Structure 1
């Protein structure tokens, strides 16, 4: 059954310039070490008309409907909130690393400081206050946002769960790509 309250990231791939300000905003907000990234920006070179152009994909935890991290965690450190956000309780984490290997999006990292897993939680402390995640506020071209996924998919033909570098997966990821330029 689909969660009509499922929150997810909304990405305007056509607008992204690959500046990685979202990554930096996330690192600062979460006080992450320089070598740890919850949000990554990947570059894809694609053919458009007669030219090759760079297309970017900003991604983090997809807050999947069927999260592999949750399925493999022996300590039950992962839970899914009513709004669909997948949250890791680091106190329960034993550092086994199974979740890191299971995630198809490379969204879970192992922190060297304590040997435990860590990942994007969509800045739930901000979401719960009615605010946007740090990565969203950090994007200078406003190509990143959050919203209710099912609502977006039914409201617009320009919204899809497919984009360059991103598509359907058995884990049921919750990010949508808006296929129109602002």
Structure 2
């Protein structure tokens, strides 16, 4: 059953310049070690009329409707909020690493400091205050946002769960790609 309140990242792939400011903002906000990234920016070379051009994909946890991390966790450390955000309770995590392998988006990491899993929670402490996640506020070209997936799909014909480097799968990821330049 579809969650009409499901929050997800909305990404304007045509506008992204690959600067990785979203990654840095996330690292600073979450006080992550230098080698840990909850948000990543991947580069893809795609054919273009003049040869090739670079297309970027900014991604993190997809807050899936059918999260693989939750399904495989033996300690029930994962839960899904009413707004669809997939949250990890690190106090319950035993460090088995099954969730890392179950995530098709490389969104769960094991921290060297304590051997436990960690991931993007979409800055729930900011969301709960009516604010945007750090990665969204950190984007200088405003190509990243958060919104209700159902609403965006109904309102924007250019919104899709498909894009260069990203596609829908069995976990039912909740990120949208807007296929038009703002």
Flag whether TM exceeds 0.5 (same fold): yes
Aligned counterparts of 1:109 and 1:19: Cα–Cα separation in 2:
22
Deviations 1:23-82 (A, max 9, x none): 000000000000000000000000122320000000000000000000000000000000
Aligned counterparts of 2:149 and 2:114: Cα–Cα separation in 1:
34
Aligned counterparts of 2:11 and 2:51: Cα–Cα separation in 1:
24
- Matched residue of 2:26: which SS? helix
Residue of structure 2 equivalent to 1:119: 119
Residue of structure 2 equivalent to 1:78: 78
Aligned counterparts of 1:91 and 1:25: Cα–Cα separation in 2:
25
- Matched residue of 1:13: which SS? coil
Aligned counterparts of 1:51 and 1:120: Cα–Cα separation in 2:
36
Residue of structure 2 equivalent to 1:26: 26
Residue of structure 2 equivalent to 1:59: 59
Aligned counterparts of 1:175 and 1:51: Cα–Cα separation in 2:
29
Instruction: Name structure 2 gaps, 5 residues minimum.
Output: none
- Larger mean CA deviation between 49-58 and 69-78 belongs to 49-58
- Matched residue of 1:70: which SS? helix
TM-score, normalization by structure 1: 0.99
1:108 aligned to 2:145? no
- Matched residue of 1:36: which SS? coil
Aligned alpha-carbon RMSD (Å): 0.5
Deviant stretches of 4+, over 6 Å:
none
Q: 1:139-154 alignment to 2 at 5 Å?
A: 139-154=139-154
Aligned counterparts of 2:17 and 2:114: Cα–Cα separation in 1:
35
Structure 1 residue 155: Cα displacement: 1.1
Deviations 1:85-143 (A, max 9, x none): 00000000000000001100000000000000000000000000000000000000000
Instruction: Name structure 1 gaps, 5 residues minimum.
Output: none
Residue of structure 2 equivalent to 1:137: 137
Aligned counterparts of 1:11 and 1:161: Cα–Cα separation in 2:
10
